[in-house]
Amino acid sequence: MGLFTSNPLPDPVGDAAPPVDEHPSRITEVLGHLRSSADSRITHPRRFRAQQLRALEKMLAERMGEFLAALAEDLGKSATEAKFSEIDVVRSEIDHAQRHLSEWMDSTTVKVPFALQPAIAKVEPRPLGVVLIIGPWNYPLQLMLAPLVAAIAAGNAAVLKPSELAPATSGALAKLLPMYLDARVYAVIEGGVDTATELLHARWDHIFFTGGQQVARVVAEAAAKHLTPTTLELGGKSPAVVDNHLLPTAKRLAYAKFMNTGQTCVAPDYVLSFGDTDALISRLGQAITSFYGKDPINHPDFGRIVNRKHFDRLVGMLDSGEVVHGGDYDADTLRIAPTIMRHIDLDSALMQEEIFGPILPVIEVATFDEALEFIASRPSPLAAYLMSESPRLQSIFSDRVRAGAIVHNAPLAQMVIPSLPFGGVGASGMGSYHGKYGFDRLSQIRSELSKTTVIDTLSAIYPPYTWAKRKIIDRLL
Ligand code: NAD
């Protein structure tokens, strides 16, 4: 088990958490230190939160090269794609939080019923305490730091546990984060299942988990022991229903599917096509070639599969139907070409599991209604896409499909709008974040009521309940 909190520079703000060595009990020690700093409420003031958000922004600006190199090492990500999908998305979250922090932190005064007047009632978001953030390997930087932005903005301390399957990015975070953020209240703990298991034994004020459904059950069970609230950002099979088979549709679908080599939680998992499916398949092929050329496996803008296990799983899926585009792979470099398949065995792993790779099954359905029934008969996905210009179909789709997000004609674009909540429903997760939704998710939305004892208006409702008092109570409440 490799653990972190290296702090190679002198601690800029004072009393940093002690560095963790190889001994597991040190996790407990670091957490104890972090909790006592958090209990002293140093994370609460607006100034502190704003300062830490600025420090995070500074880290991304100054250390971008190191993060991009780590992402290339872990997943073969092209620098352009990694910059906008991992770094710029977080910077935009930071910018949005900085601009709205005061407004989000403000308490709201609410109306007091006549019977309780005079009094002041307000709702105020309060920090929760210490948040554990566990992340996956596919966007190993974004999915650690975007929840961290919400945790900082909401005035919490946080521990980050990055994925061990993206070790270079995990190492870069463990090295760089403590150089910029206040190490008394923010820590990175590196490691795999053993480390995550040990972390889950501890008491947290919130666990923010991004990953698969199987591990989510382990997280939810561990959280239940302490009655800890969780946010579960999971995956699933996000469908794309296609009514408009033109080239722009094919390009948008191919872009959303094959970005990050299909290893994106909200990538269109499969297509449900009614109408001219032959034309759609031919245009999808055209789109792929226009993006990645005739030899996509060797194209610098097309990444690799994270590891051999996932590579073998994906190659195994190529037997589940007819490959009509792509299908090449290279086990030495863990690369699989963007692949389109049709005539799919619906009982195969390709259609029973989240694909999470560069294979796009196209399933033909006779009608739009059949597509809706197909989606409804499966677990609720993280996103559902409709490629259609018809307002009627769009309206029916929004009304009938249950998914974390409904998107018409712009798959993936929902991710980068900080004012939109990002999260799943049912099997694809619980709770959402980004922008104010993340702030609220990691806050306690607290009620506060103040009355004076100088005027005792409440005496009108105290026992004994005489006839006159009952009349008053009936009128007041
Ligand atoms: P995963 O569930 O295998 O691992 C996620 C994290 O959990 C890792 O940090 C890992 O170390 C930890 N973990 C693994 N086993 C554990 C255990 N037994 N106990 C405690 N922690 C454990 O997920 P992954 O393979 O890294 O990521 C892929 C999945 O994540 C896909 O299902 C994808 O759809 C989903 N995902 C969701 C989102 C989203 O925002 N909703 C984003 C990206 C990925």
Pairing of strands 329-330, 335-336: antiparallel
User: Region 266-275: what's the mean pLDDT?
Assistant: 96
Task: Considering the chain, tell me which residue range(s) the CATH 3.40.309.10 domain(s) occupy.
Answer: 239-423
Helices 167-180 and 64-75, axial angle in degrees (round to 10): 160
CATH classification for the domain delimited by 239-423, as one of 3.40.109.10, 3.30.70.3280, 3.40.309.10, 3.40.50.1390:
3.40.309.10
Which residue lies with its CA nearest to atom 31 of ligand 1? Answer: 212
User: Region 89-107: what's the mean pLDDT?
Assistant: 98
Cβ–ligand 1 contact at 194 (below 6 Å) = no
294 φ, ψ to 5°? Answer: -85, -15
Q: Which of 215, 264, 420 to mutate to test the pocket of ligand 1 (most atoms within 8 A of CB)?
A: 215
- The catalytic site residues sit at 233, 265
Cβ–ligand 1 contact at 160 (below 6 Å) = no
Q: How many CA atoms lie within 13 A of 439 on its CB side?
A: 24
- Average pLDDT across the chain, whole number: 93
Residue 340, pLDDT > 60, answer yes
Which residue lies with its CA nearest to atom 35 of ligand 1? Answer: 211
Closest CA to 287 of 322, 267, 258: 258
Residue 306, pLDDT > 70, answer yes
Tell me, what's the pLDDT at 26? 75
Residue 448 three-state SS: strand
> What is the tens place of the pLDDT at every residue in 16-38?
444 444 455 678 888 999 999 99
Tell me, what's the pLDDT at 473? 81
User: Environment class of residue 39 by beta-carbon count within 10 Å: exposed (0-12), middle (13-18) or buried (19+)?
Assistant: exposed
Write out the DSSP string of 380-438.
PPSEEEEE---HHHHHHHHHH--SSEEEES-TTGGGG-TTS-EE--GGGEE-EESHHHH
Distances (CA, A) of 340 to 200, 275, 283, 347: 40, 18, 11, 18
Residue 12, pLDDT > 70, answer no
Cβ–ligand 1 contact at 254 (below 6 Å) = no
In this prediction, what percent of the chain has a pLDDT beyond 70? Answer: 95
Task: Let me know: does 359 contact 324? Beta carbons within 8 Å.
Answer: no
Cβ–ligand 1 contact at 309 (below 6 Å) = no
pLDDT class for 476, splitting at 50, 70, 90? confident
> What is the tens place of the pLDDT at every residue in 377-429?
999 999 999 999 999 999 999 999 999 999 999 999 999 899 999 999 999 99
User: Region 212-236: what's the mean pLDDT?
Assistant: 97
**Cα-to-centroid distance, 139 and ligand 1 (Å):** 11
Residue 164 Cα: closest atom of ligand 1: 11
> What is the tens place of the pLDDT at every residue in 231-258?
999 999 999 999 988 999 999 999 999 9
**Cα-to-centroid distance, 377 and ligand 1 (Å):** 25
**Cα-to-centroid distance, 367 and ligand 1 (Å):** 35
Residue 4, pLDDT > 90, answer no
80 φ, ψ to 5°? Answer: -65, -50
> What is the tens place of the pLDDT at every residue in 192-207?
999 999 999 999 999 9
Cβ–ligand 1 contact at 164 (below 6 Å) = yes
Tell me, what's the pLDDT at 474? 84
Tell me, what's the pLDDT at 24? 53
pTM: 0.93
Matching residue, tokens 């958090």: 38
Residue 348, pLDDT > 50, answer yes
Tell me, what's the pLDDT at 1? 35
E-assigned strand segments in 250-330 = 270-273, 322-325, 329-330
pLDDT class for 111, splitting at 50, 70, 90? very high
Tell me, what's the pLDDT at 25? 66
Q: Which of 3, 265, 354 to mutate to test the pocket of ligand 1 (most atoms within 8 A of CB)?
A: 265
Tell me, what's the pLDDT at 64? 98
Pick the range with the lowest mean pLDDT from 24-33, 58-67, 209-218, 357-366.
24-33
pLDDT class for 2, splitting at 50, 70, 90? very low
CATH class of 24-234+431-445: alpha beta
**Cα-to-centroid distance, 217 and ligand 1 (Å):** 11
**Cβ within 8 Å of residue 31, ≥6 positions away:** 130, 159, 202
pLDDT class for 457, splitting at 50, 70, 90? confident
Q: How far apart are CA 159 and CA 187, in angstroms?
A: 5
Q: How many CB atoms lie within 10 A of CB 455?
A: 10
User: Region 43-56: what's the mean pLDDT?
Assistant: 98
pLDDT class for 477, splitting at 50, 70, 90? low
